[in-house]
Amino acid sequence: MPEPCAYFRGEYMNPKDARIGIMTHAFHYGTATFGGINATWDDEQQQFCLFRIKEHYCRQLNACKMLQIRLPYTADDMTNITVEAVRRTGFRQNVYCRPVAYKSSEFIGVKLHDLEDDWLMIATTLPPFSSPGGLRCCTSSWTRIGDNQIPTHGKINGGYVNGALAKTEAQQAGFDDGIMLTTDGHVSEGAVTNTFVVLKGVLVTPPPCDSILLGITRDTVMRLARNELGMETLERSIVRSELYEADEVFFTGTYAGVVPIVEIDHRPVGTGSPGSLTSNLQDMYRQLALGRNPRYSDWYTILRPD
């Protein structure tokens, strides 16, 4: 029977058998950084594609620097462990990989230094992301945390309380998700997704200084727009009015892919249906995630299970 597989304290095991103590520092203070990597199953080719996995681990190692987490692993080691864990699951469907680097000392006290660190990885399945017809969003009443509060370029566990508040507020009010604004009122991002808008034919996305995570899907979409459509993406601050003026708005993220937003704050985005540029980028991205476009083979780590 296929089952999830964790890499924990140097061994592969069922995640149910991997336990951390209740005194663990990261559990108390959110002093950890996580990742989210897809191993996308291609039924036709009977193989997994782990998309831009090395970039995911380089980003996680940068976040480790921010939290003074020191690991005995390189991005290549982490990649190899992840591929092996996916292989060991025995799944023949999409697998989601969740690495966590964390302050593992069983210690009470708010700090980052002079603590032990560890890294674990879980390969499991998730329900497929679904947004039939596109997302209905609101602008969140929760301000996006600033980079000088909790660094937003790292996926820092404690910082995700911010996104959780926004997502729950949105869903409990009947929306699918919330778009957070910075303290200056600039459009930032969703709980786990970057934002793009199409304004008068120009593709625009918030810059690195507007409290965003530098998403790997965001970068992929910018490269696809340039290479495949000859379209440069403008990285500049976006104000709330522009969400209402835009012809198209979409989110990007590893789990969600490219997702159209069709309504914001009860106002239709463009015609109120997914726009053509969004749909085009969504289709191209799906092919890439499956490892099917040979022009981007550098981004694929292929696993053919025995």
Which of the ranges 9-17, 24-32, 224-232, 247-255 carries the binding residues for ligand PLP, by CB under 6 A? 247-255
From 192, 198, 204, 303, residue interacting with ligand PLP (rule: CB under 6 A):
192
Asked if 252 touches ligand PLP (CB under 6 A), the answer is yes
Q: How far apart are the first and last CA of the chain?
A: 15
* Residues within window 170-189 making contact with ligand PLP, judged by CB under 6 A: 189
From 40, 182, 193, 233, residue interacting with ligand PLP (rule: CB under 6 A):
193
Contact 250, 177 (CB under 8 A): no
Give the nearer residue to ligand PLP in terms of CB position, either 105 or 162. Answer: 162
Asked if 158 touches ligand PLP (CB under 6 A), the answer is no
Gap between the Cα atoms of 29 and 41, Å rounded: 36
Residue 77 CB, shortest distance to ligand PLP, in Å, is 20
x-or-dash string of contact with ligand PLP, 106-125, rule CB under 6 A: --------------------
Q: Residue with the closest Cβ to ligand PLP?
A: 215
Residue 48 CB, shortest distance to ligand PLP, in Å, is 17
Residue 259 CB, shortest distance to ligand PLP, in Å, is 11
From 30, 99, 154, 253, residue interacting with ligand PLP (rule: CB under 6 A):
253
Q: Helix crossing, 53-66 with 216-229: angle to 10°?
A: 140
Residue 270 CB, shortest distance to ligand PLP, in Å, is 23
Residue with tokens 């697998």: 95
Gap between the Cα atoms of 264 and 203, Å rounded: 18
Asked if 99 touches ligand PLP (CB under 6 A), the answer is no
Amino acid at 165: L
DSSP-H helix ranges across 192-275:
216-229, 240-245
Residue 301 CB, shortest distance to ligand PLP, in Å, is 16
Contact 35, 99 (CB under 8 A): yes
Gap between the Cα atoms of 249 and 262, Å rounded: 7
Structure tokens at 292: 């099917």
Nearest CA-CA partner of 249 in 226, 228, 270: 270
Give the nearer residue to ligand PLP in terms of CB position, either 189 or 210. Answer: 189
Contact 231, 203 (CB under 8 A): yes
Gap between the Cα atoms of 141 and 122, Å rounded: 33
DSSP assignment letter at 99: E
Give the nearer residue to ligand PLP in terms of CB position, either 136 or 218. Answer: 218
Count the residues of the shown chain that bind ligand PLP, applying the rule CB under 6 A. Answer: 15
Structure tokens at 41: 């199953």
From 87, 155, 167, 186, residue interacting with ligand PLP (rule: CB under 6 A):
155
Gap between the Cα atoms of 113 and 91, Å rounded: 39
Asked if 194 touches ligand PLP (CB under 6 A), the answer is yes
Which of the ranges 92-100, 198-206, 252-260, 298-306 carries the binding residues for ligand PLP, by CB under 6 A? 252-260
Asked if 258 touches ligand PLP (CB under 6 A), the answer is no
Distances (CA, A) of 260 to 83, 122, 236, 246, 306: 31, 29, 20, 12, 37
Residue 225 CB, shortest distance to ligand PLP, in Å, is 15
Binding residues vs ligand PLP (CB under 6 A)? 36, 155, 163, 189, 192-194, 213, 215-218, 252-254
